[in-house]
A and B are shown apart, each in its own frame.
Chain A
Amino acid sequence: MLPPFSQTETGPCFMIRFAIRRVLWLFVVLLGLSVITFYLSRMVPGDPASLYLGPRAKPEQVELLRSQMGLDKPLHVQFFYYVCDLFHGDLGESLRTHRPVLAGILDHLPASLELMFGAILIATLVGIPLGALSAKKENTLIDHLSRVFSVANVSLPAFWLAMIAQIIFFKWLDLLPVGGRIDTVIGLVSPIETITGFYVLDALMTGNWQALKSAVAHLILPAFILASYSTGIITRMTRSTMLEVLREDYITTARSIGVTEKEIIFVQGLRNALGPTLTAAGLCFAFMLTGTFFIELIFFWPGLGTYTTTAIFSNDYPVIMGVTILMAVFYVLVNLLVDLVIAFVDPRIRLG
């Protein structure tokens, strides 16, 4: 990451210039990324035209399509066309579904985002208080348990956790559904009107209580499992930064002048620890976009993960490239956002 701030600069004007600089870097990153992914995907054996036409296409059909797709032109020419298309927002067409890649991504993105927002919410709502508590009760049983909990969350594979969760909550306890976004019958009988593509939000906004119940119930397991890794990270992060902060002189001073313990932890301590924790949370959120892949497979959640894994298994390189580029953009933008939020939240940085 770039060293973000010069301590002598201040104010909104600075923030804008900072943001612009980062966006320019985004283009550099994207260019490099597209070169690498483009050439890699072309080097992988497997003729895209045969893929497009299916396993039993005749040789003449394949030849015709190859020239239509421009696959007989030299690689750098193909790359040039690809980049030109990118600038027009054209990510190409999926070899498997024959629909535009961008449309495919946008179709599947809301489902993944809903899952991610749910997960990051859980991760922060569980991780931050737990980390703070752990810091306050350093080296007690609670602290040890929470440290084991964080390490477990980070180490246990999400794929495995998902299957265990299904067995426990669906098969044995019959409390939560096995997968999907909404109950089949409810989906038919009182379907959710699409406004944002987020089932929970849309059901809430249209007053569709049956569907809301079902959508939330279906979101619980996958969101919790997706949150596991981030919860572990956020707990640890909060704990370690809190410990540092609590050792600072001004904390000792605050205690000695009689500030309540509660205010010390939750006001002084947490506010100062929030910076690095939020950075970690932001990065976790960006990382979750790939983390959804396994979760979506197990819970047959129709998000970007499902779309991409299907593309990977069928060598659908326009989709693979399109998703890779999208992930890069997403990652850089989230990073930028996190930095801006930190600058806003942490007065030390804002005021230089």
Chain B
Amino acid sequence: MKAKVTRTLSILSILAVVLMVFAVYGQAAKLPKNILVYACTDSTTTWDPSASFSTELTYIANIYEPLVWVSPPGSAKEFRPGLAERWEKSADGLTWKFYLRKGVKFHDGGVLTAKAVKDSFDRTKTMKKGASFILGPIEEIKVLDDHTVQFNLKSVAPLERIVASAYAAWIISPKAVGNDQKWFDAGNEAGSGPYMLESAKPDEEIVLKKFDGYWGGWDKPHFERVVVKIVKEASVQEQMIDSGVADLGNRIPVESSKTFDEKDCCSRLVGPSYLNYALHLNTQKPPFDNIKVRQAVSYAMPYKDMVDIGLGGLGQQARGPIPYTQFGHDKDVYQYTTDLAKAKKLMAEAGFPDGIKEKVIYTYAAENQVEKAFSPLIKESLAKIGIDVDIRPMIWNAQWDLMKGGPEKAQHMGALLWWPTFSDPYDTLYSLWHSEGKPFFNFSYYRNPEYDDLIDKAYTSPDVEQAKALYAKAQKILVEEAPSVYLMDVELPVFVRNELKGYVINPSYPRVPFFYDMHKE
């Protein structure tokens, strides 16, 4: 026994060494051109397109298709046909007709008909999950013929934006539309898009394979397969892209991000997003119940520094609550500048020439590195105008719970990263500032019936220009009354190897790479 132990040990050691040496030699070859490897942080919460409302969008948007797509900023036309070739609406805005593309097949063999469209939307509405609330204005969907579908609305709404949404608007194959969420979450899919889900290992790797029967055809250079590796650690992603193990990445350490472009192998692509950061002031709790104090805070913010330090320069100071390039953004909305003199004057006018004695509680989401970086800047600048800030990092859900506790219990100030559910400003303007019975997202406890009325009118206006004008008016109120401080609009970077072509950033589909349009040279 005794000698055996040592002999076993030695044999094991030798075997182990031999195995390791054998494994190390003849390592991996370069990635072939028809496979894309994307190192990504996006995990999935569900595979059900009717319930999807999170980062699985990266995959859903390549597997499924909507009736209509919102084009990237700078395009000639704002919308692009998806599964619908063209569409029209009635003069009163309550009836919309969509004419479907012919000959579209789903991955499971199903065929696109008007009934499939109706069933998909009905399913999403019935399930009431995810972003299904955007389908609220739809009263009834009628099948006029195999390729024509009619939407009857109960109130006027921008339906083409709704059906182009990144959430709740995906069309599901008729063969699978009767399945429940569990079927989808088991890893099944029923889309018509260019890529099929080949395999999904949770938190590890998602592999998409090209769908040969895709209506768009495959005559240009395309990827046969896309392998998405879930890599949460930024420095590891950097190594992977640098060395060619991955072609594309979405998170690099902030320090390396700035110099990424200087590398020979790789570039950093930057584009607008609809993400923005705002500081919400509790308008029902002193001192922020005083409009002059709120305006003083708006003048005290070091906007440029916050963009530089919080976003590493990837962004710009916000102009109003709607991000730059989103429909509804108004270039003429007033923008506060960093002006400490003005801020101090306003504080004096508000009755606080020597500042405020009581500490003001400020919370931000502890998981958010950007907020973590800019929060000390907020404290520093407010100290200069006599407001003593107590910074409290909290896990997002805890922060949200605190805010929902009612105006007395809630914090004085909270930082919030926001993005719209779809490309209409109503979602943002309603959720954040519409008068609320039960607290939900209105962090500033703002209550203004005139404002409520304006945005409701804008949303239900059949005239696009009139809607824009009404939204502009509503934003003017928000900026003047300053229930929130509009900090910055975020630009999202993507890190690519130079051989990769065709990546177009489309903020309506946040952080989605459209693989069909991409190829490697």
- A residues adjacent to B (C-beta < 8 A): 44-47, 50-51, 53-61, 96-99, 104, 107-108, 121-122, 124-125, 128-129, 163, 166, 170-171, 174-181, 183-188, 212-217, 220, 266-268, 270-271, 274, 297-300, 302, 306-307, 310, 313, 315
Q: Is the CB of B245 within 8 A of A297?
A: no
Neighbouring B residues of A55 by C-beta, 8 Å = 53-54, 396
Neighbouring A residues of B1 by C-beta, 8 Å = 271
Neighbouring B residues of A98 by C-beta, 8 Å = 45-46, 181, 185
A21 to chain B, nearest CB (A): 28
Q: Is the CB of A188 within 8 A of B236?
A: no
Q: Is the CB of B201 within 8 A of A297?
A: no
Q: Is the CB of A97 within 8 A of B202?
A: yes
Inter-chain CA distance A175–B23, complex, in Å, is: 10
Q: Given known contacts A56-B53, A56-B131, is B37 in contact with A166 (CB within 8 Å)?
A: no
User: Within 8 Å of chain A (Cβ to Cβ): is B401?
Assistant: yes
A-B contact count (CB 8 A): 172
Q: Given known contacts A54-B130, A267-B3, is B233 in contact with A300 (CB within 8 Å)?
A: yes
Q: Given known contacts A125-B9, A184-B35, A271-B2, is B229 in contact with A166 (CB within 8 Å)?
A: no
Q: Is the CB of B5 within 8 A of A58?
A: no
Interface centre among A179, A220, A315 (most CB of B within 10 A): A179
B45 to chain A, nearest CB (A): 6
Task: Show 20 A/B contacts (Cβ-Cβ < 8 Å), sorted by A.
Answer: A45-B397, A53-B129, A97-B45, A97-B202, A98-B45, A129-B9, A175-B27, A178-B239, A179-B240, A184-B28, A184-B35, A185-B32, A188-B207, A217-B27, A266-B6, A271-B2, A299-B236, A300-B233, A307-B203, A315-B395
User: Within 8 Å of chain A (Cβ to Cβ): is B91?
Assistant: no
Contacts A45-B397, A54-B45, A214-B28 aside, 12 further interface pairs with beta carbons under 8 A come to: A45-B401, A57-B53, A97-B202, A129-B9, A177-B27, A178-B240, A179-B240, A184-B229, A220-B23, A267-B6, A300-B230, A315-B395
Neighbouring A residues of B35 by C-beta, 8 Å = 184-185, 188
Q: Is the CB of A179 within 8 A of B236?
A: yes
Interface bits B73-105 vs A (CB < 8 Å: 1, else 0): 000000000000000000000000000000000
Interface size bracket, B side: 35 or more
User: Within 8 Å of chain A (Cβ to Cβ): is B146?
Assistant: no
Q: Is the CB of B401 within 8 A of A46?
A: yes
A126 to chain B, nearest CB (A): 8
Interface centre among B12, B45, B440 (most CB of A within 10 A): B45
A140 to chain B, nearest CB (A): 22
The SS class assigned to the B binding surface is mixed
Neighbouring A residues of B377 by C-beta, 8 Å = none
Neighbouring A residues of B203 by C-beta, 8 Å = 108, 302, 306-307, 310
Closest to A104 in B: B202
User: Within 8 Å of chain A (Cβ to Cβ): is B231?
Assistant: yes
Q: Is the CB of B28 within 8 A of A179?
A: no
Inter-chain CA distance A47–B438, complex, in Å, is: 16
Q: Is the CB of A59 within 8 A of B440?
A: yes
Q: Given known contacts A54-B54, A270-B5, is B245 in contact with A217 (CB within 8 Å)?
A: no
Closest to B28 in A: A183
Q: Is the CB of B5 within 8 A of A298?
A: no
Inter-chain CA distance A188–B228, complex, in Å, is: 12
User: Within 8 Å of chain A (Cβ to Cβ): is B304?
Assistant: no
Neighbouring B residues of A216 by C-beta, 8 Å = 19-20, 22-23
Closest to A171 in B: B239
Inter-chain CA distance A61–B16, complex, in Å, is: 55
Q: Is the CB of A298 within 8 A of B24?
A: no
Q: Given known contacts A99-B202, A104-B202, A178-B245, is B28 in contact with A125 (CB within 8 Å)?
A: no
Neighbouring B residues of A122 by C-beta, 8 Å = 16
Q: Given known contacts A54-B53, A56-B53, is B239 in contact with A185 (CB within 8 Å)?
A: no
User: Within 8 Å of chain A (Cβ to Cβ): is B402?
Assistant: yes
Q: Is the CB of B231 within 8 A of A267?
A: no
Q: Is the CB of B129 within 8 A of A313?
A: no
B185 to chain A, nearest CB (A): 6
User: Within 8 Å of chain A (Cβ to Cβ): is B421?
Assistant: yes
Inter-chain CA distance A213–B232, complex, in Å, is: 26
B89 to chain A, nearest CB (A): 27
Q: Is the CB of A297 within 8 A of B207?
A: no
Q: Is the CB of A51 within 8 A of B397?
A: yes
Closest to A307 in B: B203
Neighbouring A residues of B367 by C-beta, 8 Å = 313
A116 to chain B, nearest CB (A): 15
- Which residues, 222 to 237 on B, are CB-close (under 8 Å) to A? 225, 227, 229-233, 235-236
User: Within 8 Å of chain A (Cβ to Cβ): is B509?
Assistant: no
Q: Is the CB of A300 within 8 A of B231?
A: yes
Closest to B186 in A: A99
Q: Is the CB of B13 within 8 A of A166?
A: no
Closest to B43 in A: A310
Closest to A312 in B: B395
Inter-chain CA distance A128–B6, complex, in Å, is: 10
Inter-chain CA distance A47–B404, complex, in Å, is: 11
Q: Is the CB of B16 within 8 A of A50?
A: no
Q: Is the CB of B27 within 8 A of A178?
A: no
Neighbouring A residues of B26 by C-beta, 8 Å = 213
Neighbouring A residues of B270 by C-beta, 8 Å = none
User: Within 8 Å of chain A (Cβ to Cβ): is B219?
Assistant: no
Inter-chain CA distance A298–B16, complex, in Å, is: 24
Inter-chain CA distance A177–B204, complex, in Å, is: 16
Closest to B37 in A: A184
User: Within 8 Å of chain A (Cβ to Cβ): is B400?
Assistant: yes
Neighbouring B residues of A178 by C-beta, 8 Å = 236, 239-240, 243, 245
